[in-house]
Chains A and B, each alone.
Chain A
Amino acid sequence: MLNLENKLIRYALQAINYSVFMGMIWYLSTSPSYQQIAEDEAVINISFSHAGETKEPCHRRTQAELMKLPPNMRAPMDCSRERSPIIIEALLDGDLIYSQTLNAPGIYKDGSVDIYHSVKIPAGSHRFSIKMDDSVLKEGFDYKLDQNIEINPAKILLVDFNAGQGFFIK
């Protein structure tokens, strides 16, 4: 091993080492820059929470059925807990951009489904449609939205839903 006695040379070498160390931090703390979306792109966020319809219709218990139950459990209606899977499809200018079938979470499959999906699209004018089927008891899609949208570059178009209002765009 070389043993440098000259302190000046040693300090100069140390300065080089510190410069390399700080140079790494200098560069990697901000570079290379990262572009998440292209300059002419925008984003559609589909985000909502919804519980599907129960898989089976409720059944009114007969008197005989009620008498078989313990007194504290004699509820007149017998409803299954399991909910229907939710089927969603979204289209942009006729092209499918999102399609998903989501089962209800939980041990008894009785929870609300949380949907969060982000999709990049070209900025500008488009025809956007989204539909959802939340019941296995009925044929076809129960909720639909079909409308023209105008979206600027880098903007987020938020598609929300509630059972009373259906789909709506924020």
Chain B
Amino acid sequence: MLVNPIKRAYLALESWFNISFGTEWNPLYHLGTLTFFFFWIILVTGLYLFGFFHGSIDGAYDSVEYITHEQWYLAGVMRSLHRYASDAAIITILLHMFKEFASGRYRGFRWFSWVSGLPILWLVVTLGITGYWLVWDELAQYIAVGSARLVDSLPIISGSMASNFQEGEMTDRFFILIEFLHLLGQPLILFFMLWLHVKRMSNVDINPPRGLAMGCLMALLVLSFVKPAVSHGPADLTSMPTVLQLDWFYLNAYPLMDLWSEGKTWLLATAITIVLMLLPWAPPKKDGPAAVVDLAHCNGCELCFDDCPFDAITVQARTDGAKFEREVVVNPDLCASCGICMASCPSSNPFRLAEEELKTGIDMPALPVDKLRTMTKEAVAAMTGPANVLLVGCEHGFNVNRLDNNETKGIKLMCSGMMPPTMVEYALKQGVDGIMIVGCRHNDCFFRFGNLWVDKRFSGERKPILRKRADRRRIRVFGGSETDKKSIENELSVFRNELLTLNSEAGDSSDGAESGVSSDA
């Protein structure tokens, strides 16, 4: 199966991190929360530094020198943490973008998150620039003049901002404006943008796993002690700063501007922004049809509302006169067509009305629960091996149909979280020896919570639970991507051997002909 090279590169990186961190702490699964964590470090250290900072042309540099050298053991470390956490945030933001792009999670219903994320990157960059400005050293002088030249090149303001940075022209008022921007204006806008960025998601977690957070904090602390952040010489508007130690995470546009021109730099930044903004529609991706509520089978239990990863389901007062208090409503614009809600609905029970078309409270037009039951039944009936395994996969992970043979059949859902626990029971009841759910890699569901909800439903932590009478020994959950064929085959082989043992213990015949499956519910 062909996997595009960018995705293959990403999956290889993800595999490496899974080996070293495990799936719980894999940083690639927590890039957003890690960025939040770095913002917390920046905020806390910034508040401390603010206590010693003098916001004036004459006082700024000396106060930062005091922070760096006099109180190096605390304020100095805080300064280093402030700087390095800011750099780390740029890395996690860029990796976050790369991951979403490589795994195709920026198109279709996800366009909003992608588009609202881009301004965050630019805002963080400008926040870093104003931060460097406040030190008022030679580097600050360089970026102040450079920023002014960039602004002057735009035909939007009259006057020359750059002329403020001449000897005798600079005033505290402008400096205080930058201080206000850095300390309040930009952080407030950033807070709003972050809220907007995650607005279309439910159960948003902004904290990385504690172990990963501690690891990052320790690493930043070590770096802060080994290489403390220091200033250049004080700003001198009668001289040009010559050799500069630029922070290339934030200040890369300035040398480019020196090399080209202000106009070309703007042009490049604008072109990159436009291209990135338009990516979700190049070409457009059509999502499947949205989930549909059938009030005749909905009792307003709200399980689908709790499980929806994208906030597409809301609850309102009952409108059909039924005895229940509430009903759910699907917003088609927000629906990702993952089908997780269908599995949440207790009415998605294949044992109900077995002879008629199976209806449920919330269903997927592209793959209704009745069709899923039929597919399950047919797949189980088609197997003739000594230990038959039904593979349940998803469209975004490993293609389970690649392993189809006489003792293995795959059914592909939109998401592994779309498999109702009762459907697993149903398949076992139909006579299959084992069921293996192969969703995306653990903790990396394309639809955020599919494989997590499967785990929780099967372990009884989340409704609808897999009932105790379902033999857990015949159920296996294993995450895998398109490139994980070998490990999935290995896991399947181990599972099948266990099933053979179970079959022989149960007195089942290990002979394929006699292990034929029942076609009755």
Residues of A within 8 A of B160 (CB): 47, 49, 114-116
Residue from B87, B158, B246, B441 within 8 A of A33 (CB atoms)? B246
Alpha-carbon distance A37/B244, docked complex (angstroms): 10
Check if B484 sits within 8 Å of A156, measured CB to CB: no
Q: Are B246 and A30 in contact (CB under 8 A)?
A: yes
Q: Which residues on A sit within 8 Å (CB–CB) of B27?
A: 17
CB distance from A125 to the nearest CB of B (A): 18
**Does any Cβ of A come within 8 Å of B19's Cβ?**
yes
Q: Is the CB of A45 within 8 A of B166?
A: yes
**Is there a chain B Cβ closer than 8 Å to A18's Cβ?**
yes
Q: Which A87-132 residues have a C-beta within 8 angstroms of B?
A: 105-106, 111, 114-116
Q: A9-38, CB under 8 A of B: which get 1 and which 0?
A: 010011011110110111011110111110
Q: Quick check: is A2 within 8 A (CB to CB) of the other chain?
A: yes
Chain A residues with CB under 8 A of B218 = 18
- Are B247 and A21 in touch, CB under 8 angstroms? no
In the complex, chain A residues whose CB is within 8 Å of the CB of B255:
34
B484 (CB) vs chain A CBs: closest residue: A1
Q: Whole-angstrom distance between the alpha carbons of A154 and B239 in the complex?
A: 6
- How far is it, in angstroms, between the C-alpha of A34 and the C-alpha of B248 when the chains are bound? 10
B96 to chain A, nearest CB (A): 14
Q: What interface size band does chain B fall in? A: 35 or more
Q: In the complex, what residues of A have CB within 8 A of residue B167's CB?
A: 156, 158, 170
Query: Do A18 and B215 touch (CB < 8 A)?
Result: yes
Across-interface contacts of B223 in A (CB, < 8 A): 22, 25-26
Q: Cβ of A10 and Cβ of B22 under 8 Å apart?
A: yes
State which of A4, A36, A43, A158 has its C-beta within 8 Å of the C-beta of B19. Answer: A4
Q: Report the nearest A residue to B92, measured CB to CB.
A: A21
Task: Tell me if B227 counts as interface (CB < 8 A to partner A).
Answer: yes
**Shortest distance in angstroms between A48's beta carbon and chain B's nearest beta carbon?**
8
Is B91 among interface residues, defined by CB-CB distance under 8 A?
yes
Chain A residues with CB under 8 A of B166: 45, 47, 158, 170
CB of A81 closer than 8 Å to a CB of B = no
Q: How far is the CA of A116 from the CA of B168 in the complex (A)?
A: 16
Asked if A74 is an interface residue, CB under 8 A from chain B, the answer is no
Cα of A45 to Cα of B145 in the assembled complex, Å: 12
Q: Are A1 and B84 in contact (CB under 8 A)?
A: no
A29 in contact with B247 given A14-B20, A21-B91, A22-B222 (CB within 8 Å): yes
CB of B159 within 8 A of CB of A49, answer yes
Given A21-B88, A29-B84, A155 and B238 contact (CB-CB distance below 8 Å): yes
Are A17's CB and B21's CB within 8 A?
Answer: yes
Q: Across the two chains, which residue of chain A brings its CB closest to B155?
A: A105
Interchain CB contact under 8 A, A22 and B219:
yes
Asked whether A39 is an interface residue with its Cβ less than 8 Å from the other chain, the reply is yes
Give Cα A106 to B258, complex, Å.
29
Contact A30 B245, beta carbon cutoff 8 Å: yes
Q: Is the CB of B163 within 8 A of A47?
A: yes
Q: How far is the CA of A47 from the CA of B248 in the complex (A)?
A: 29
Nearest CB on A from B244, distance (A): 5
Q: CB within 8 Å of A: which of B231-280? A: 237-249, 255, 258
Q: Which residues of B contact A105 (CB under 8 A)?
A: 158
Which residues of chain B come closer than 8 Å to A28, judged between CB atoms?
87, 247-249
State how many angstroms separate the Cβ of A43 from the closest Cβ of chain B. Answer: 5
Specify which chain A residues have a CB less than 8 angstroms from the CB of B152 in the assembled complex.
114, 116
Residues of B close to A29: CB separation below 8 A: 83-84, 87, 229, 247-249
Residues of B within 8 A of A158 (CB): 166-167
Asked if A2 meets B88 with Cβ closer than 8 Å, knowing A36-B244, A47-B163, A156-B239, the reply is no
Complex: A49 Cα to B159 Cα, angstroms: 8
Measured CB to CB, the nearest residue on chain B to A13 is B20
Tell me if B17 and A22 are in contact (CB < 8 A): no
Pick the contact of B20 from A17, A30, A35, A47 — CB < 8 Å? A17
Partner of A30, one of B91, B216, B247: B247
Q: Please tell me if the beta carbons of B248 and A36 are within 8 angstroms of each other in the complex.
A: no
Looking across the interface, which residue of chain B has its beta carbon closest to that of A24? Answer: B91
The answer for the CA separation of A36 and B163 in the assembled complex, in Å, is: 19
Q: How long is the Cα–Cα vector from A48 to B162 in the complex, in angstroms? A: 11
Distance in angstroms from B446 CB to nearest chain A CB is: 17
* Known interface pairs A10-B20, A49-B163; A33-B245 also in contact (CB < 8 Å): yes
| Docked-complex contact A25 and B84, CB < 8 angstroms | yes
Q: Which of A10, A33, A43, A156 contacts B244 (CB 8 A)?
A: A33
Minimum distance in angstroms from A49 CB to a CB of chain B: 7
Give Cα A25 to B218, complex, Å: 14
Task: Report whether A25 and B87 are in contact in the complex, using a CB–CB cutoff of 8 Å.
Answer: yes
Among A13, A24, A116: residue with most chain B CB under 10 A: A116
Contact, CB under 8 Å: A37 / B242: yes
B19 proximity list for chain A (CB < 8 A): 1-4, 13
In the complex, the answer to whether A155 meets B239 with C-beta atoms within 8 Å is yes
B142 within 8 A of A: yes
Q: Is the CB of A37 within 8 A of B240?
A: yes
- B150 smallest CB distance to A (angstroms): 12
Q: Are B219 and A18 in contact (CB under 8 A)?
A: yes
User: Which residues of chain A have C-beta atoms less than 8 A from B227's C-beta?
Assistant: 26
Q: 0/1 per residue, A63-99, Cβ < 8 Å to B? A: 0000000000000000000000000000000000000
* Contact between A14 and B215, CB atoms less than 8 A apart: yes
Residues B428-457 near A (CB distance < 8 A)? 441
Interface residues of A (CB under 8 A from B): 1-4, 10, 13-14, 16-19, 21-22, 24-26, 28-31, 33-37, 39, 42-43, 45, 47-49, 105-106, 111, 114-116, 154-156, 158, 170
22 A–B contacts, CB within 8 A, in A order: A1-B441, A1-B487, A2-B19, A3-B19, A4-B19, A14-B21, A22-B84, A26-B226, A28-B248, A29-B248, A31-B248, A33-B243, A35-B244, A36-B240, A36-B241, A37-B242, A49-B159, A49-B160, A116-B152, A154-B239, A154-B242, A170-B167
